[in-house]
A and B are shown apart, each in its own frame.
Chain A
Amino acid sequence: MKCEEIGELLPDYLQEGLQGEKKNIVERHLANCAECSEVAGLWKKLALIPEEEPSAEGRARFEAMLQAYQTGRGDEGARRGSPDRTSLWSGWRWLRSPAGAVAWSVALVALGVFLGMQAGSTKTNLQDLAAMHTELTNMRQMVALSMLQQQSASQRLEGVTWTRREEQLDPQVLAALMRTLRYDPSVDVRLAALDALSRHAGQPQVKRTVVDALQEQQSPLVQVALIDQLVEWRDADAAAGIEKLRQEPHLNPTVRQRADWAISKLN
Protein backbone atom coordinates (compact mmCIF):
# COMPACT_ATOMS: atom_id res chain seq x y z
CA MET A 1 0.00 0.00 0.00
CA LYS A 2 1.23 3.50 -0.83
CA CYS A 3 2.08 6.14 1.75
CA GLU A 4 -0.93 8.28 0.70
CA GLU A 5 -3.29 5.40 1.36
CA ILE A 6 -1.64 4.68 4.69
CA GLY A 7 -1.99 8.39 5.47
CA GLU A 8 -5.75 7.93 5.49
CA LEU A 9 -5.52 5.15 8.04
CA LEU A 10 -2.66 6.47 10.12
CA PRO A 11 -4.59 9.00 12.27
CA ASP A 12 -7.00 6.26 13.37
CA TYR A 13 -4.10 3.90 14.02
CA LEU A 14 -2.41 6.56 16.17
CA GLN A 15 -5.50 7.00 18.33
CA GLU A 16 -5.76 3.22 18.53
CA GLY A 17 -8.94 3.21 16.52
CA LEU A 18 -7.93 0.49 14.06
CA GLN A 19 -8.57 -3.21 14.48
CA GLY A 20 -7.91 -6.41 12.58
CA GLU A 21 -6.66 -6.39 9.03
CA LYS A 22 -6.47 -2.60 8.67
CA LYS A 23 -4.24 -2.43 11.71
CA ASN A 24 -2.01 -5.17 10.28
CA ILE A 25 -1.74 -3.33 6.95
CA VAL A 26 -0.58 -0.15 8.68
CA GLU A 27 1.90 -2.00 10.88
CA ARG A 28 3.36 -3.88 7.90
CA HIS A 29 3.77 -0.57 6.03
CA LEU A 30 5.39 1.14 9.00
CA ALA A 31 7.90 -1.69 9.28
CA ASN A 32 9.03 -1.03 5.70
CA CYS A 33 8.63 2.74 5.33
CA ALA A 34 11.04 4.93 7.25
CA GLU A 35 9.14 8.15 6.54
CA CYS A 36 5.72 6.98 7.73
CA SER A 37 7.35 5.21 10.63
CA GLU A 38 9.00 8.45 11.65
CA VAL A 39 5.70 10.33 11.42
CA ALA A 40 4.08 7.73 13.66
CA GLY A 41 7.06 7.92 16.00
CA LEU A 42 6.70 11.68 16.31
CA TRP A 43 3.11 11.23 17.48
CA LYS A 44 4.38 9.04 20.29
CA LYS A 45 7.26 11.36 21.10
CA LEU A 46 4.91 14.32 21.43
CA ALA A 47 3.73 12.73 24.66
CA LEU A 48 7.26 13.11 26.03
CA ILE A 49 7.12 16.90 25.93
CA PRO A 50 6.84 17.74 29.60
CA GLU A 51 3.66 19.42 30.78
CA GLU A 52 3.97 22.63 32.72
CA GLU A 53 1.82 22.83 35.79
CA PRO A 54 -0.33 25.87 36.50
CA SER A 55 0.63 27.95 39.51
CA ALA A 56 -1.29 27.86 42.77
CA GLU A 57 -2.06 31.52 42.21
CA GLY A 58 -4.54 30.52 39.51
CA ARG A 59 -6.80 28.91 42.07
CA ALA A 60 -6.62 32.02 44.27
CA ARG A 61 -7.54 34.25 41.33
CA PHE A 62 -10.43 31.99 40.48
CA GLU A 63 -11.65 32.09 44.09
CA ALA A 64 -11.50 35.90 44.05
CA MET A 65 -13.46 36.03 40.82
CA LEU A 66 -16.04 33.59 42.15
CA GLN A 67 -16.30 35.55 45.39
CA ALA A 68 -16.92 38.73 43.41
CA TYR A 69 -19.61 36.96 41.46
CA GLN A 70 -21.26 35.50 44.55
CA THR A 71 -21.28 38.95 46.15
CA GLY A 72 -23.17 40.32 43.18
CA ARG A 73 -25.64 37.47 43.28
CA GLY A 74 -25.96 37.65 47.06
CA ASP A 75 -27.42 41.14 46.84
CA GLU A 76 -29.80 39.98 44.20
CA GLY A 77 -30.78 36.82 46.13
CA ALA A 78 -31.55 38.88 49.22
CA ARG A 79 -34.00 40.97 47.23
CA ARG A 80 -35.60 38.00 45.63
CA GLY A 81 -35.73 35.75 48.67
CA SER A 82 -34.49 32.59 47.06
CA PRO A 83 -32.56 31.68 43.93
CA ASP A 84 -34.70 31.43 40.87
CA ARG A 85 -34.21 27.92 39.64
CA THR A 86 -37.25 27.90 37.44
CA SER A 87 -36.39 27.21 33.85
CA LEU A 88 -38.71 28.66 31.28
CA TRP A 89 -39.03 25.31 29.63
CA SER A 90 -39.28 23.27 32.83
CA GLY A 91 -43.00 23.93 32.91
CA TRP A 92 -45.82 25.24 30.82
CA ARG A 93 -46.97 27.84 33.30
CA TRP A 94 -45.57 30.69 31.24
CA LEU A 95 -47.95 29.89 28.44
CA ARG A 96 -50.80 31.03 30.67
CA SER A 97 -49.04 34.33 31.34
CA PRO A 98 -49.68 37.47 29.26
CA ALA A 99 -46.40 36.87 27.47
CA GLY A 100 -47.47 33.35 26.70
CA ALA A 101 -50.71 34.66 25.26
CA VAL A 102 -48.83 37.02 22.98
CA ALA A 103 -46.49 34.23 21.95
CA TRP A 104 -49.47 32.09 21.06
CA SER A 105 -50.84 34.96 19.00
CA VAL A 106 -47.60 35.14 17.06
CA ALA A 107 -47.74 31.42 16.43
CA LEU A 108 -51.33 31.75 15.18
CA VAL A 109 -50.45 34.64 12.87
CA ALA A 110 -47.54 32.61 11.51
CA LEU A 111 -49.87 29.66 10.98
CA GLY A 112 -52.32 31.97 9.20
CA VAL A 113 -49.57 33.23 6.90
CA PHE A 114 -48.54 29.68 6.13
CA LEU A 115 -52.06 28.48 5.45
CA GLY A 116 -52.80 31.58 3.39
CA MET A 117 -49.78 30.90 1.23
CA GLN A 118 -50.81 27.31 0.77
CA ALA A 119 -54.41 28.18 -0.14
CA GLY A 120 -53.61 31.04 -2.50
CA SER A 121 -50.40 29.65 -3.87
CA THR A 122 -51.28 30.40 -7.46
CA LYS A 123 -51.42 34.14 -6.92
CA THR A 124 -49.41 35.43 -4.04
CA ASN A 125 -50.15 38.96 -3.03
CA LEU A 126 -46.75 40.39 -2.15
CA GLN A 127 -48.23 43.41 -0.45
CA ASP A 128 -50.26 41.19 1.85
CA LEU A 129 -47.20 39.15 2.62
CA ALA A 130 -45.20 42.27 3.44
CA ALA A 131 -48.00 43.46 5.71
CA MET A 132 -48.12 40.12 7.45
CA HIS A 133 -44.36 40.16 7.87
CA THR A 134 -44.58 43.57 9.49
CA GLU A 135 -47.37 42.31 11.71
CA LEU A 136 -45.25 39.33 12.75
CA THR A 137 -42.31 41.58 13.52
CA ASN A 138 -44.52 43.83 15.60
CA MET A 139 -45.95 40.84 17.44
CA ARG A 140 -42.51 39.49 18.21
CA GLN A 141 -41.45 42.85 19.55
CA MET A 142 -44.62 42.95 21.65
CA VAL A 143 -43.72 39.56 23.07
CA ALA A 144 -40.27 40.81 23.93
CA LEU A 145 -41.65 43.93 25.54
CA SER A 146 -44.20 41.99 27.52
CA MET A 147 -41.71 39.40 28.71
CA LEU A 148 -39.18 42.01 29.77
CA GLN A 149 -41.76 43.18 32.30
CA GLN A 150 -42.41 39.79 33.90
CA GLN A 151 -41.73 38.97 37.54
CA SER A 152 -39.69 35.88 36.82
CA ALA A 153 -36.06 36.39 35.85
CA SER A 154 -36.15 33.47 33.47
CA GLN A 155 -39.07 35.04 31.61
CA ARG A 156 -37.29 38.36 31.38
CA LEU A 157 -34.27 36.46 30.12
CA GLU A 158 -36.45 34.92 27.44
CA GLY A 159 -37.72 38.42 26.64
CA VAL A 160 -34.15 39.50 25.97
CA THR A 161 -33.74 36.47 23.72
CA TRP A 162 -36.81 37.51 21.72
CA THR A 163 -35.23 40.90 21.02
CA ARG A 164 -32.27 39.14 19.41
CA ARG A 165 -34.51 37.82 16.66
CA GLU A 166 -34.89 41.29 15.17
CA GLU A 167 -32.32 43.17 13.17
CA GLN A 168 -34.01 46.48 13.85
CA LEU A 169 -35.61 47.14 17.20
CA ASP A 170 -38.62 49.28 17.81
CA PRO A 171 -37.51 52.35 19.86
CA GLN A 172 -39.82 51.21 22.66
CA VAL A 173 -38.17 47.77 22.82
CA LEU A 174 -34.71 49.29 22.61
CA ALA A 175 -35.58 51.59 25.50
CA ALA A 176 -36.87 48.61 27.51
CA LEU A 177 -33.67 46.73 26.83
CA MET A 178 -31.58 49.67 28.00
CA ARG A 179 -33.75 49.95 31.13
CA THR A 180 -33.19 46.24 31.71
CA LEU A 181 -29.44 46.67 31.47
CA ARG A 182 -29.47 49.42 34.03
CA TYR A 183 -32.11 48.37 36.51
CA ASP A 184 -32.99 44.69 36.23
CA PRO A 185 -32.46 43.00 39.61
CA SER A 186 -30.95 39.88 38.04
CA VAL A 187 -27.29 39.84 37.07
CA ASP A 188 -28.01 37.26 34.38
CA VAL A 189 -30.72 39.35 32.78
CA ARG A 190 -28.52 42.44 32.82
CA LEU A 191 -25.68 40.49 31.19
CA ALA A 192 -28.03 39.11 28.55
CA ALA A 193 -29.38 42.62 27.90
CA LEU A 194 -25.83 43.85 27.37
CA ASP A 195 -25.17 41.07 24.87
CA ALA A 196 -28.38 41.95 23.03
CA LEU A 197 -27.55 45.67 23.02
CA SER A 198 -24.09 45.00 21.65
CA ARG A 199 -25.77 44.33 18.31
CA HIS A 200 -27.19 47.84 18.23
CA ALA A 201 -24.01 49.85 18.74
CA GLY A 202 -25.03 52.01 15.80
CA GLN A 203 -27.62 53.69 18.00
CA PRO A 204 -25.83 56.48 19.88
CA GLN A 205 -28.02 56.13 22.96
CA VAL A 206 -26.94 52.49 23.36
CA LYS A 207 -23.29 53.39 23.84
CA ARG A 208 -24.23 56.21 26.17
CA THR A 209 -26.35 53.83 28.26
CA VAL A 210 -23.50 51.34 28.54
CA VAL A 211 -21.13 54.10 29.73
CA ASP A 212 -23.73 55.33 32.23
CA ALA A 213 -24.41 51.81 33.44
CA LEU A 214 -20.75 51.45 34.31
CA GLN A 215 -21.15 53.98 37.11
CA GLU A 216 -24.33 52.40 38.41
CA GLN A 217 -23.61 48.70 38.45
CA GLN A 218 -22.45 47.04 41.64
CA SER A 219 -21.91 43.51 40.34
CA PRO A 220 -18.24 42.99 39.39
CA LEU A 221 -19.32 40.52 36.74
CA VAL A 222 -21.49 43.12 35.02
CA GLN A 223 -18.83 45.79 35.44
CA VAL A 224 -16.28 43.57 33.71
CA ALA A 225 -18.74 42.77 30.92
CA LEU A 226 -19.46 46.49 30.39
CA ILE A 227 -15.76 47.31 30.25
CA ASP A 228 -15.15 44.50 27.76
CA GLN A 229 -17.97 45.77 25.59
CA LEU A 230 -16.65 49.32 25.55
CA VAL A 231 -13.19 48.05 24.57
CA GLU A 232 -14.80 45.90 21.88
CA TRP A 233 -16.48 49.00 20.48
CA ARG A 234 -13.20 50.90 20.81
CA ASP A 235 -15.23 53.76 22.16
CA ALA A 236 -12.62 56.39 23.01
CA ASP A 237 -15.22 58.46 24.87
CA ALA A 238 -15.63 55.58 27.30
CA ALA A 239 -12.11 56.00 28.69
CA ALA A 240 -13.24 58.84 30.96
CA GLY A 241 -16.10 56.73 32.34
CA ILE A 242 -13.81 53.77 32.98
CA GLU A 243 -11.27 56.05 34.62
CA LYS A 244 -13.99 57.39 36.90
CA LEU A 245 -14.95 53.85 37.85
CA ARG A 246 -11.32 53.04 38.54
CA GLN A 247 -11.22 55.85 41.09
CA GLU A 248 -13.92 54.15 43.18
CA PRO A 249 -12.26 53.35 46.50
CA HIS A 250 -14.07 50.05 47.07
CA LEU A 251 -13.83 48.72 43.56
CA ASN A 252 -13.33 44.98 43.24
CA PRO A 253 -9.64 44.25 42.43
CA THR A 254 -10.55 42.14 39.40
CA VAL A 255 -12.62 45.00 38.00
CA ARG A 256 -9.84 47.49 38.72
CA GLN A 257 -7.38 45.28 36.87
CA ARG A 258 -9.77 45.06 33.91
CA ALA A 259 -10.27 48.83 33.96
CA ASP A 260 -6.50 49.38 33.86
CA TRP A 261 -6.25 47.10 30.87
CA ALA A 262 -9.18 48.82 29.14
CA ILE A 263 -7.73 52.29 29.60
CA SER A 264 -4.43 51.16 28.15
CA LYS A 265 -6.33 49.80 25.14
CA LEU A 266 -8.49 52.86 24.59
CA ASN A 267 -5.80 55.50 24.98
Chain B
Amino acid sequence: MQSETDEELMLQVRDGAGETLGVLFDRYHAPLFHFYTKLTGDRTLSEDLVQEVFLRILRHRQTFRDGTPFRAWIYQIARNARIDHFRKNRPQVPFEPEMAPAVLPADPAQQRQESELLHRALMELPEEKRELLVLCRFQELPYEEVARLVGCGVATVKVRIHRALQELREAFHQLQAAPANRNAQRELRPRRMGHEV
Protein backbone atom coordinates (compact mmCIF):
# COMPACT_ATOMS: atom_id res chain seq x y z
CA MET B 1 0.00 0.00 0.00
CA GLN B 2 2.92 2.29 0.82
CA SER B 3 4.09 2.27 -2.79
CA GLU B 4 0.71 3.29 -4.21
CA THR B 5 0.31 6.85 -5.39
CA ASP B 6 -1.75 9.34 -3.43
CA GLU B 7 -4.31 9.34 -6.21
CA GLU B 8 -4.67 5.54 -6.17
CA LEU B 9 -5.15 5.58 -2.42
CA MET B 10 -7.70 8.38 -2.58
CA LEU B 11 -9.68 6.54 -5.23
CA GLN B 12 -9.82 3.58 -2.85
CA VAL B 13 -11.03 5.88 -0.07
CA ARG B 14 -13.63 7.29 -2.44
CA ASP B 15 -14.85 3.82 -3.27
CA GLY B 16 -15.36 2.88 0.35
CA ALA B 17 -11.99 1.79 1.75
CA GLY B 18 -11.97 4.44 4.51
CA GLU B 19 -9.09 2.76 6.37
CA THR B 20 -6.78 3.61 3.43
CA LEU B 21 -7.06 7.24 4.48
CA GLY B 22 -4.64 6.36 7.29
CA VAL B 23 -1.80 6.06 4.76
CA LEU B 24 -2.64 9.47 3.34
CA PHE B 25 -2.82 10.84 6.87
CA ASP B 26 0.71 9.53 7.49
CA ARG B 27 1.92 11.19 4.33
CA TYR B 28 0.24 14.54 4.72
CA HIS B 29 -0.50 15.37 8.33
CA ALA B 30 3.01 16.72 9.07
CA PRO B 31 3.25 18.87 5.90
CA LEU B 32 -0.24 20.22 6.56
CA PHE B 33 0.64 20.90 10.17
CA HIS B 34 3.73 22.82 9.04
CA PHE B 35 1.61 24.73 6.53
CA TYR B 36 -0.79 25.81 9.25
CA THR B 37 1.78 26.60 11.93
CA LYS B 38 3.70 28.80 9.53
CA LEU B 39 0.50 30.59 8.59
CA THR B 40 -1.20 30.94 11.93
CA GLY B 41 1.60 30.58 14.46
CA ASP B 42 -0.89 28.62 16.53
CA ARG B 43 -0.05 25.02 17.33
CA THR B 44 -3.41 23.99 18.77
CA LEU B 45 -5.36 25.58 15.96
CA SER B 46 -3.06 23.90 13.43
CA GLU B 47 -3.74 20.49 14.96
CA ASP B 48 -7.49 21.18 14.78
CA LEU B 49 -7.31 22.32 11.18
CA VAL B 50 -5.40 19.20 10.13
CA GLN B 51 -8.19 17.09 11.64
CA GLU B 52 -10.74 19.23 9.85
CA VAL B 53 -9.01 18.58 6.53
CA PHE B 54 -9.26 14.82 6.93
CA LEU B 55 -12.84 15.05 8.10
CA ARG B 56 -13.66 17.05 4.98
CA ILE B 57 -11.89 14.47 2.82
CA LEU B 58 -14.18 11.80 4.21
CA ARG B 59 -17.24 13.96 3.81
CA HIS B 60 -16.44 15.01 0.27
CA ARG B 61 -14.60 11.92 -0.91
CA GLN B 62 -17.19 11.33 -3.61
CA THR B 63 -16.12 14.55 -5.28
CA PHE B 64 -12.60 13.27 -5.89
CA ARG B 65 -12.30 12.52 -9.59
CA ASP B 66 -9.94 10.19 -11.36
CA GLY B 67 -7.13 12.28 -12.82
CA THR B 68 -7.24 14.96 -10.11
CA PRO B 69 -3.78 15.54 -8.56
CA PHE B 70 -4.28 14.64 -4.91
CA ARG B 71 -1.79 17.15 -3.53
CA ALA B 72 -3.53 20.06 -5.24
CA TRP B 73 -6.88 18.73 -4.01
CA ILE B 74 -5.83 18.39 -0.38
CA TYR B 75 -4.19 21.81 -0.30
CA GLN B 76 -7.35 23.33 -1.73
CA ILE B 77 -9.29 21.70 1.09
CA ALA B 78 -6.68 22.92 3.57
CA ARG B 79 -6.96 26.51 2.35
CA ASN B 80 -10.76 26.40 2.46
CA ALA B 81 -10.74 24.93 5.97
CA ARG B 82 -8.56 27.79 7.18
CA ILE B 83 -10.65 30.46 5.44
CA ASP B 84 -13.85 28.98 6.84
CA HIS B 85 -12.34 28.80 10.29
CA PHE B 86 -11.46 32.48 10.33
CA ARG B 87 -14.81 33.39 8.86
CA LYS B 88 -16.63 31.58 11.65
CA ASN B 89 -14.28 32.42 14.50
CA ARG B 90 -13.70 36.08 15.03
CA PRO B 91 -11.86 37.60 16.80
CA GLN B 92 -8.84 35.67 15.65
CA VAL B 93 -6.22 34.16 17.88
CA PRO B 94 -3.40 36.65 18.28
CA PHE B 95 0.10 35.49 17.61
CA GLU B 96 1.80 34.86 20.93
CA PRO B 97 5.54 34.41 21.32
CA GLU B 98 5.11 30.91 22.70
CA MET B 99 3.52 29.92 19.43
CA ALA B 100 6.81 30.50 17.66
CA PRO B 101 9.28 27.66 17.53
CA ALA B 102 11.22 27.38 20.73
CA VAL B 103 14.42 29.37 20.58
CA LEU B 104 16.74 29.55 23.55
CA PRO B 105 17.55 33.21 24.13
CA ALA B 106 20.93 32.26 25.61
CA ASP B 107 21.82 30.31 22.49
CA PRO B 108 24.99 31.91 21.17
CA ALA B 109 24.35 30.75 17.63
CA GLN B 110 23.52 33.83 15.63
CA GLN B 111 21.82 31.68 13.06
CA ARG B 112 19.14 30.60 15.48
CA GLN B 113 18.47 34.14 16.62
CA GLU B 114 18.27 35.18 13.03
CA SER B 115 15.79 32.50 12.16
CA GLU B 116 13.65 33.50 15.14
CA LEU B 117 13.62 37.05 13.87
CA LEU B 118 12.88 35.88 10.38
CA HIS B 119 9.91 33.88 11.61
CA ARG B 120 8.57 36.97 13.30
CA ALA B 121 9.10 38.98 10.14
CA LEU B 122 7.19 36.29 8.24
CA MET B 123 4.29 36.61 10.66
CA GLU B 124 4.30 40.35 10.02
CA LEU B 125 3.55 39.89 6.33
CA PRO B 126 -0.01 40.18 5.06
CA GLU B 127 -1.51 36.71 5.10
CA GLU B 128 -1.79 36.44 1.33
CA LYS B 129 1.96 36.96 0.91
CA ARG B 130 2.80 34.75 3.84
CA GLU B 131 0.72 31.96 2.37
CA LEU B 132 2.51 32.19 -0.97
CA LEU B 133 5.91 31.99 0.69
CA VAL B 134 4.81 29.08 2.83
CA LEU B 135 3.45 27.17 -0.14
CA CYS B 136 6.44 27.82 -2.40
CA ARG B 137 9.25 27.68 0.12
CA PHE B 138 8.21 25.39 2.96
CA GLN B 139 5.81 23.12 1.13
CA GLU B 140 8.01 23.32 -1.93
CA LEU B 141 5.11 23.40 -4.35
CA PRO B 142 6.09 24.46 -7.86
CA TYR B 143 4.80 27.86 -8.97
CA GLU B 144 2.47 26.24 -11.52
CA GLU B 145 0.74 24.26 -8.80
CA VAL B 146 0.47 27.27 -6.51
CA ALA B 147 -0.98 29.31 -9.37
CA ARG B 148 -3.75 26.74 -9.88
CA LEU B 149 -4.33 26.61 -6.15
CA VAL B 150 -4.77 30.34 -5.62
CA GLY B 151 -6.46 30.87 -8.97
CA CYS B 152 -4.08 33.15 -10.81
CA GLY B 153 -1.40 32.96 -13.50
CA VAL B 154 2.10 31.59 -12.94
CA ALA B 155 3.64 34.97 -13.80
CA THR B 156 1.47 36.62 -11.14
CA VAL B 157 2.64 34.12 -8.54
CA LYS B 158 6.27 34.90 -9.36
CA VAL B 159 5.70 38.65 -9.14
CA ARG B 160 3.95 38.20 -5.81
CA ILE B 161 6.72 35.99 -4.48
CA HIS B 162 9.27 38.62 -5.36
CA ARG B 163 7.23 41.34 -3.68
CA ALA B 164 6.67 39.15 -0.63
CA LEU B 165 10.42 38.63 -0.29
CA GLN B 166 11.05 42.35 -0.57
CA GLU B 167 8.47 43.01 2.10
CA LEU B 168 9.94 40.27 4.25
CA ARG B 169 13.31 41.98 3.95
CA GLU B 170 11.83 45.28 5.13
CA ALA B 171 10.06 43.65 8.08
CA PHE B 172 13.22 41.77 8.97
CA HIS B 173 15.24 45.00 8.95
CA GLN B 174 12.70 46.76 11.13
CA LEU B 175 12.84 43.99 13.69
CA GLN B 176 16.62 44.01 13.62
CA ALA B 177 16.71 47.76 14.05
CA ALA B 178 14.32 47.74 16.97
CA PRO B 179 15.42 45.05 19.40
CA ALA B 180 13.01 46.49 21.95
CA ASN B 181 10.22 45.27 19.74
CA ARG B 182 11.41 41.76 20.27
CA ASN B 183 10.56 42.11 23.94
CA ALA B 184 7.19 43.58 23.17
CA GLN B 185 6.25 40.32 21.52
CA ARG B 186 2.75 40.25 22.88
CA GLU B 187 1.85 43.00 20.50
CA LEU B 188 2.83 40.90 17.53
CA ARG B 189 -0.11 39.58 15.65
CA PRO B 190 -0.22 37.81 12.33
CA ARG B 191 -1.61 40.18 9.78
CA ARG B 192 -4.66 38.95 8.01
CA MET B 193 -6.19 39.53 4.67
CA GLY B 194 -9.78 39.41 3.62
CA HIS B 195 -11.27 36.19 2.38
CA GLU B 196 -10.86 36.93 -1.26
CA VAL B 197 -8.24 34.24 -1.85
| Contact, CB under 8 Å: A73 / B158 | no
> Are A58 and B50 CB-contacts (below 8 A) given A42-B169, A66-B18, A191-B59?
yes
Residue of B nearest to A194 (CB): B59
Contact flags B10-34 to A (C-beta < 8 A → 1, else 0)? 0000011111011001000110011
- For the complex, is A11 an interface residue (Cβ under 8 Å from B)? yes
> Are A42 and B172 CB-contacts (below 8 A) given A54-B50, A83-B15, A85-B15?
yes
Chain A residues proximal to chain B, CB less than 8 Å? 7-8, 10-12, 14-15, 35, 38-39, 42-43, 45-55, 57-59, 61-63, 65-66, 69-70, 73, 83-85, 87, 157, 188, 191-192, 221, 224-225, 231-232, 265
| Contact, CB under 8 Å: B119 / A49 | yes
| Contact, CB under 8 Å: A61 / B51 | yes
Q: Which of B159-167, B177-185, B187-195 contacts A (4 or more CB under 8 A)?
A: B159-167
| Contact, CB under 8 Å: B165 / A50 | no
Interface SS of chain A: helix, strand, loop or mixed? helix
**A48 interface neighbour in B22, B29, B111, Cβ under 8 Å:** B111
B88: chain A residues at CB < 8 Å are 231-232, 265
- Cα–Cα, bound, A12→B46 (Å): 30
A265: chain B residues at CB < 8 Å are 88
Interface SS of chain B: helix, strand, loop or mixed? helix
**Could you tell me the distance in whole angstroms from the C-beta of A39 to the nearest C-beta in chain B?**
5
| Contact, CB under 8 Å: B62 / A57 | no
- For the complex, is B75 an interface residue (Cβ under 8 Å from A)? no
- Cα–Cα, bound, A10→B143 (Å): 13
| Contact, CB under 8 Å: B16 / A65 | no
B37: chain A residues at CB < 8 Å are 51-52
A84: chain B residues at CB < 8 Å are 16
With most chain B CB atoms within 10 A of its CB, the pick from A14, A54, A63 is A54
**A62 interface neighbour in B25, B101, B111, Cβ under 8 Å:** B25
B174: chain A residues at CB < 8 Å are none
> Are A65 and B55 CB-contacts (below 8 A) given A42-B172, A85-B16?
yes
Residue of B nearest to A86 (CB): B15
- Cα–Cα, bound, A11→B136 (Å): 10
Residue of B nearest to A51 (CB): B34
- Cα–Cα, bound, A52→B46 (Å): 11
- For the complex, is B58 an interface residue (Cβ under 8 Å from A)? yes
- Cα–Cα, bound, A48→B16 (Å): 41
> Are A157 and B62 CB-contacts (below 8 A) given A8-B158, A49-B119?
yes
With most chain B CB atoms within 10 A of its CB, the pick from A15, A46, A73 is A46
List 9 A–B pairs whose Cβ atoms lie within 8 Å, in order of A's numbering.
Answer: A12-B158, A45-B118, A46-B138, A51-B37, A53-B33, A54-B46, A65-B51, A66-B58, A69-B58
| Contact, CB under 8 Å: B19 / A11 | no
A87: chain B residues at CB < 8 Å are 15
Contact flags B121-155 to A (C-beta < 8 A → 1, else 0)? 01000000000010011100011000000000000
- Cα–Cα, bound, A38→B29 (Å): 33
**Could you tell me the distance in whole angstroms from the C-beta of A50 to the nearest C-beta in chain B?**
4
| Contact, CB under 8 Å: A11 / B54 | no
- For the complex, is B79 an interface residue (Cβ under 8 Å from A)? no
**B47 interface neighbour in A15, A58, A63, Cβ under 8 Å:** A58
3 closest A-B pairs by beta carbon, nearest first, are A83-B16, A11-B158, A54-B33
Residue of B nearest to A39 (CB): B165
- Cα–Cα, bound, A202→B119 (Å): 46
- Cα–Cα, bound, A6→B29 (Å): 36
> Are A70 and B19 CB-contacts (below 8 A) given A7-B162, A65-B54?
yes
> Are A11 and B59 CB-contacts (below 8 A) given A45-B115, A59-B25, A62-B51?
no
B162: chain A residues at CB < 8 Å are 7-8, 10-11, 39
B159: chain A residues at CB < 8 Å are 7-8
B119: chain A residues at CB < 8 Å are 49
- Cα–Cα, bound, A130→B26 (Å): 54
- For the complex, is B8 an interface residue (Cβ under 8 Å from A)? no
- For the complex, is B96 an interface residue (Cβ under 8 Å from A)? no
